[in-house]
Amino acid sequence: MSAAHDDTTIAQALSRPYPHGFVTEIDSDTLPPGLDESTIREISRLKREPEFLLKRRLAALEHWRSMPHPDWAKLRIEPIDFQALSYYSAPKSMADGPKDLSEVDPKLLETYEKLNIPLHERARLAGVAVDAVFDSVSVGTTFREQLAAVGVIFCSFSHAVENHPELVERYLGSVVPLGDNFYAALNSAVFSDGSFVYVPAGVRCPMELSSYFRINARNTGQFERTLIIAEAGSEVSYLEGCTAPQRDENQLHAAVVELIAHDDAFIKYSTVQNWYPGDEQGRGGIYNFVTKRGLCAGARSRISWTQVETGSAITWKYPSVVLRGDDSNGEFHSIAVTNHRQQADTGTKMIHLGKRTTSRIVSKGISAGHSQQNYRGLVRVAPTAQGARNNTQCDSLLIGGECGAATYPYIETARTDATVEHEATTTRISEDRLFYCQQRGIDPEEATGLIVGGFCQAVLEELPMEFALEARALLSVSLEGAVG
């Protein structure tokens, strides 16, 4: 038994195949590769959009063209040929717009079935409403009527544009402006679908809402847009999951998510991200370049991000909260796992504007193989944020000697009465810890699972039940060992 042997055991355990790598053979209407004004007009026409949206798209395109590709993150990104990508792909059977799930192509339903995402009527038992997005379009949303009965709007973004244009016009871009950053600008120009949630004042959404994103088509970017509005005193918990087929080339996913919480409202947004990560040599995999931001617009409002990130070749995302309302609260709970040649530069921003605003950040990074993972976080306390408080806990766990982890905490505070605490630790699954477990009869794989599970415990507890189970299963696939 040598140290080298230990590493091999773990390495073997770590290299389980990606289980969602299948491709659905389905006829699609796909725009030819390339991006210019005519592409934008075509997307807008296909989606029968109102004028304001087309104008907004064109403005975003112009903005995007003037922006250089950002290079500040600690990531190695091969140059992306944006003219070689297709910006819209929809299953042919969706062209006429199925009225309800019974009209949806069975192949699509099968795809989601395979992924364990129930769209059938029997999905009622699961008690979770689902919006399923396949490439560029939403293929169906469950429980729409039941939710409508309490005034909750949960539908695809396209449906919202058609049926609630005033809400879309009022809130779209109110948190992430169209020129916010390179990929947000690109998304604002070409986004095709996504999910829309509106929870009226005083309503506690009676079930978990979730969307499930699937990239299927080749050479196609997925640019979805999610907008969630919680009126005063309302509450909603939203879950998001993602997978993609196993392909040798990289695929781009550049989403924008905007959350707005009014007085006393609470939005909990959870993500289990499992895009195809590429193979052991780093071939293929999704580029996950996402902008997620919540605005605590009202007093005492709360927004909480929880993410479990195990997939993608490159992850580049910082779910953030702008704490504008007095006494508002933002939270970020994250588990990020990188293995093989995966890269992740992820973290959060907490922008304190209102009085007595509070934020909490818990980040758990697990790096294995030859992966590189960075936590990058910003806590900003504005001159108006009297008595603001932040607490950040940032932990890295390294498995093996070939991976890297770095922490970049930025703290900018304009007030002396602010409390900003930052604590960071780096741990290894050391030979001694592993040996201790082995000495108690536990084999190295199971020991790794125990140690990883213990490391992630604080964040797993934040996830809604359904996703906590999925997340644990995912961790054990990504990192083996009976986690939990």
User: Exactly one of 218, 356, 360, 433 binds another protein (CB under 8 A); which one?
Assistant: 433
**Residue with Cβ nearer another protein (248 or 431):** 431
Q: Using alpha carbons, list the distances in angstroms from residue 251 to 90, 185, 374.
A: 16, 18, 22
Separation of alpha carbons 82 and 484, rounded Å: 42
Under the binding rule (CB under 8 A), the answer on residue 308 touching another protein is no
Residue carrying structure tokens 């539908």: 155
**Closest CB 438 distance from another protein, rounded Å:** 4
Under the binding rule (CB under 8 A), the answer on residue 6 touching another protein is yes
> How many CB atoms sit inside 10 A of residue 94's CB?
22
Q: How far apart are the first and last CA of the chain?
A: 27
Contact segment (CB under 8 A) with another protein among 46-54, 144-152, 246-254, 444-452 equals 444-452
- Residue 208 near residue 466 (C-beta atoms within 8 A): yes
Give 271's contacts (C-beta < 8 A, 6+ positions apart): 239, 240, 241, 242, 305, 306, 307, 308, 309, 319
**Residue with Cβ nearer another protein (421 or 461):** 461
Separation of alpha carbons 438 and 447, rounded Å: 7
User: Exactly one of 451, 468, 471, 475 binds another protein (CB under 8 A); which one?
Assistant: 451
List binders of another protein among 207-266 (CB under 8 A): none
Short-list 133, 159, 157, 131, CA closest to 143: 131
**270-289 footprint of another protein as x/- string (CB under 8 A):** --------------------
Under the binding rule (CB under 8 A), the answer on residue 477 touching another protein is no
Q: Within its chain, how far is the Cα of 317 from the centroid? A: 8
**Residue with Cβ nearer another protein (419 or 427):** 427
**Closest CB 254 distance from another protein, rounded Å:** 34
> How many CB atoms sit inside 10 A of residue 204's CB?
13
Residue carrying structure tokens 């296909």: 46
Please, which residues bridge with residue 427 across strands? 397
* 194 φ, ψ (degrees, to nearest 5): 160, -160
Please, which residues bridge with residue 366 across strands? 337, 397
Under the binding rule (CB under 8 A), the answer on residue 431 touching another protein is yes
Under the binding rule (CB under 8 A), the answer on residue 123 touching another protein is no
**Closest CB 475 distance from another protein, rounded Å:** 13
Give helix 444-460 / helix 3-14 axis angle, nearest 10°.
Answer: 60
DSSP β-ladder status, 224-230 and 193-199: parallel
Count residues binding another protein (CB under 8 A).
Answer: 29
Residue 159 is which amino acid? H
- Residue 108 near residue 139 (C-beta atoms within 8 A): yes
**Residue with Cβ nearer another protein (126 or 458):** 458
User: Exactly one of 32, 122, 439, 465 binds another protein (CB under 8 A); which one?
Assistant: 439
Under the binding rule (CB under 8 A), the answer on residue 12 touching another protein is no
Under the binding rule (CB under 8 A), the answer on residue 442 touching another protein is yes
Q: Indicate the SS3 state at residue 84.
A: helix
**Closest CB 446 distance from another protein, rounded Å:** 7
User: Exactly one of 97, 424, 443, 469 binds another protein (CB under 8 A); which one?
Assistant: 443
**Closest CB 360 distance from another protein, rounded Å:** 17
Tokens, residue 103: 């009209």
> How many CB atoms sit inside 10 A of residue 10's CB?
23
**Residue with Cβ nearer another protein (75 or 450):** 450
**Residue with Cβ nearer another protein (400 or 444):** 444
Q: Within its chain, how far is the Cα of 16 from the centroid? A: 23
**391-430 footprint of another protein as x/- string (CB under 8 A):** ------------------------------------x--x
% helix / strand / coil in the chain, to the nearest 5?
Answer: 25, 35, 35
**Residue with Cβ nearer another protein (163 or 427):** 427
**Residue with Cβ nearer another protein (141 or 407):** 407
Separation of alpha carbons 118 and 142, rounded Å: 9
User: Exactly one of 239, 456, 468, 477 binds another protein (CB under 8 A); which one?
Assistant: 456
**Residue with Cβ nearer another protein (297 or 399):** 399
For 106-117, b where at least 16 C-beta lie within 10 A, e where not — what string? eebbebbeebeb
**Residue with Cβ nearer another protein (34 or 454):** 454
Contact segment (CB under 8 A) with another protein among 67-75, 224-232, 237-245, 455-463 equals 455-463
**Closest CB 449 distance from another protein, rounded Å:** 9
Contact segment (CB under 8 A) with another protein among 104-112, 175-183, 330-338, 438-446 equals 438-446
**Closest CB 13 distance from another protein, rounded Å:** 14
Residue 134 is which amino acid? F
**Residue with Cβ nearer another protein (415 or 428):** 428
**Closest CB 11 distance from another protein, rounded Å:** 16
**Residue with Cβ nearer another protein (303 or 308):** 308
For 209-245, b where at least 16 C-beta lie within 10 A, e where not — what string? bbbbbbbbbeebbbbbbbbbbbbbbbbbbbbbbbbbb
User: Exactly one of 393, 435, 464, 466 binds another protein (CB under 8 A); which one?
Assistant: 435
* 10 φ, ψ (degrees, to nearest 5): -65, -45
Residue ranges that bind another protein, judged by CB under 8 A: 1-3, 5-6, 427, 430-433, 435-444, 446, 450-451, 453-458
